[in-house]
């Protein structure tokens, strides 16, 4: 088992809790369910719950206890599957750095007050995380269907909703996303047949056709957002380098059957292109790289575009490091306060410089200079 020492990315902040309640938790009172929408530890009515078909209501800790309102546990051992956010990177206690892929699925094996253990359903590798620093998203729960006393469950035909839910879970656990790189009607039909063969209850063929169609389209949309195609996902930032001008846009949709991408450009223009057409037009993806909590940059696939950011907790630190960083990297922009203006850097810092002109000409040396800065302790004053 591998023990996680630190979650490098994404940055996981400790959740505010009151009596075990936290924002996003599912609350239950007998047969009623709701979502915790606000937590204010300093308030008398510190927990706000938005109940189904009712107005939101704020409760005191005593009211929660007396009314027997409780949090529904979501990380259930041997029943809950989770996935990691894109680019999730952790540091293990043995010094190894591990980057998880969004398509990896993990089964929650054990949960304690302070930690939990998950297992990769494919490789069977296990990892131990701190519970309050766990970055994963809940993907699915294994649910045991109740038995029907009068008629055996296996003799009842599956409903349209059951067929769709089963198809969604079957696709998530069994469909190889590599097949999306060359999806054809024959492949889709073969996969659909494999799903139908896995069903252990009778079903109506027309219901299965409809349920499969809806589930597969939802699966494709989810894969377009999480996994993508040829390294590009929905929301991926794109750069069109034409005639010495940069035009930025984003991937808005992926058509796996046609192997094409829908693009929305900043000038309101829309395009639908294949990967080969994008290469011919000098269109490439822009990747965002975090070197540390204080240094990040975005770079295009053809390396024609590089934009770097260096952030600080305080204005005093930023000014103290200015001369040293300029000597290593090059000319910097004016210091900006991103408490007021939203930063494009995605750094969790208040004050930031953008590199306006690098000292070195080659991309390799520019990235090396940023790597040097990322090794500095920019949260303390320079010597």
Which tens digits make up the pLDDT trace of 15-55? 778 888 888 788 888 888 888 888 988 889 999 999 876 77
Does residue 179 lie within any of the structural domains? yes
Residue 171 pLDDT greater than 60, yes or no: yes
- What pLDDT sits at residue 31? 81
Residue 347 pLDDT greater than 90, yes or no: no
**What is the Cα–Cα distance from 209 to 228, expressed in whole angstroms?**
25
Q: How many CB atoms lie within 10 A of CB 80?
A: 22
CB contact at 8 A, 137 and 78: no
Are residues 157 and 246 part of one domain? no
Are residues 307 and 205 part of one domain? no
Q: What is the pLDDT confidence band of residue 339, given thresholds at 50, 70 and 90?
A: low
Q: What is the pLDDT confidence band of residue 56, given thresholds at 50, 70 and 90?
A: confident
CB contact at 8 A, 287 and 228: no
Does residue 232 lie within any of the structural domains? no
Residue 149 pLDDT greater than 60, yes or no: no
- CA 185 to mean position of chain CA atoms: 30
Average pLDDT over residues 110-136: 91
Does residue 380 lie within any of the structural domains? no
Q: What is the pLDDT confidence band of residue 146, given thresholds at 50, 70 and 90?
A: low
CB contact at 8 A, 7 and 87: no
Are residues 46 and 7 part of one domain? yes
Residue 13 DSSP symbol: P
Are residues 105 and 31 part of one domain? yes
- What pLDDT sits at residue 341? 63
> How deeply is 108 buried, as exposed, middle or buried, from its count of CB atoms within 10 A (0-12, 13-18, 19+)?
buried
Final residue belonging to a domain, choices 87, 120, 144? 144
Are residues 209 and 89 part of one domain? no
Final residue belonging to a domain, choices 247, 265, 286? 286
Are residues 138 and 3 part of one domain? yes
- What pLDDT sits at residue 15? 72
Does residue 111 lie within any of the structural domains? yes
pLDDT 10s digits, 220-258:
999 999 989 998 999 999 999 877 788 999 999 999 999
Residue % of the chain over a pLDDT of 70: 94
Are residues 136 and 9 part of one domain? yes
Final residue belonging to a domain, choices 102, 121, 144? 144
Top pLDDT among 30 and 60 is at 60
- What pLDDT sits at residue 196? 93
Record the tokens describing residue 184, joined without a space: 């054809």
**What is the Cα–Cα distance from 322 to 376, expressed in whole angstroms?**
13
- What pLDDT sits at residue 285? 93
Strands 126-130 and 2-9: parallel
Does residue 382 lie within any of the structural domains? no
Structural domain for 29, as ranges: 1-144
- What pLDDT sits at residue 205? 92
- What pLDDT sits at residue 132? 81
Are residues 96 and 25 part of one domain? yes
Does residue 56 lie within any of the structural domains? yes
Indicate the helix (H) or strand (E) that contains 248.
strand 245-255
Residue 326 pLDDT greater than 80, yes or no: yes
Residues present in the chain in total: 383
Q: What is the pLDDT confidence band of residue 74, given thresholds at 50, 70 and 90?
A: confident
Are residues 5 and 89 part of one domain? yes
Are residues 205 and 68 part of one domain? no
Residue 58 pLDDT greater than 70, yes or no: yes
Query: How does the average pLDDT of the chain come out, rounded?
Result: 89
- What pLDDT sits at residue 342? 63
CB contact at 8 A, 19 and 145: no
pTM over 0.75: no
Q: What is the pLDDT confidence band of residue 145, given thresholds at 50, 70 and 90?
A: low
Residue 114 pLDDT greater than 90, yes or no: no
Are residues 130 and 174 part of one domain? no
Does residue 357 lie within any of the structural domains? yes
Are residues 134 and 45 part of one domain? yes
Does residue 362 lie within any of the structural domains? yes
Domain count, the chain: 4
- The lowest-confidence range among 106-115, 151-160, 163-172, 219-228 is 151-160
- What pLDDT sits at residue 150? 58
């Amino acid at each position: 088992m591998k023990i996680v020492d630190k979650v490098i990315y994404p940055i996981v902040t400790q959740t505010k809790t009151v009596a075990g309640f936290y924002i996003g938790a599912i609350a239950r009172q007998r047969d009623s369910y709701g979502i915790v929408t606000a937590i204010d530890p300093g308030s008398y009515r510190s927990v706000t719950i938005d109940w189904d078909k009712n107005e939101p209501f704020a409760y005191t800790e005593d009211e929660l206890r007396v009314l027997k309102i409780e949090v529904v546990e979501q990380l259930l051992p041997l029943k809950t599957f989770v996935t990691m956010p894109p680019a999730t990177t952790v540091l293990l206690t043995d010094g190894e750095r591990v980057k998880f892929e969004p398509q990896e699925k993990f089964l929650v094996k054990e949960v304690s007050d302070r930690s939990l253990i998950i297992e990769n359903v494919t490789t069977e590798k296990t990892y131990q995380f701190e519970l309050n620093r766990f970055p994963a998203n809940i993907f699915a729960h294994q649910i045991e269907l109740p038995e029907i006393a009068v008629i055996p469950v296996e003799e009842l035909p599956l409903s349209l909703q059951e067929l769709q839910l089963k198809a969604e879970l079957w696709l998530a656990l069994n469909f190889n996303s590599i097949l999306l790189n060359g999806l054809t009607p024959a492949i889709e039909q073969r996969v659909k047949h494999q799903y139908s063969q896995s069903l252990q209850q009778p079903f109506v063929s027309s219901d299965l056709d409809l349920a499969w169609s809806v589930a597969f389209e939802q699966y494709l949309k989810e894969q377009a957002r999480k996994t993508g195609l040829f390294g590009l996902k929905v929301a991926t930032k794109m750069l069109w380098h034409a005639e010495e001008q940069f035009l930025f846009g984003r991937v808005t949709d992926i058509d796996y059957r046609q192997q094409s991408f829908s693009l929305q450009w900043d000038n309101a223009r829309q395009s639908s292109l294949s990967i080969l057409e994008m290469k011919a037009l000098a269109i490439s993806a822009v990747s965002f790289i975090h070197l540390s909590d204080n240094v990040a940059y975005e770079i295009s696939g053809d390396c024609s575009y590089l934009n770097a950011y260096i952030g600080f907790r305080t204005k005093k630190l930023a000014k103290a490091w200015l001369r040293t960083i300029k000597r290593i990297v090059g000319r910097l922009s004016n210091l900006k306060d991103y408490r007021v203006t939203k930063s494009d850097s995605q750094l969790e810092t208040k004050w930031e410089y953008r590199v306006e002109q690098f000292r070195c000409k080659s991309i390799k040396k520019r990235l090396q200079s940023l790597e040097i800065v990322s090794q500095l302790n920019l949260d303390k004053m320079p010597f």
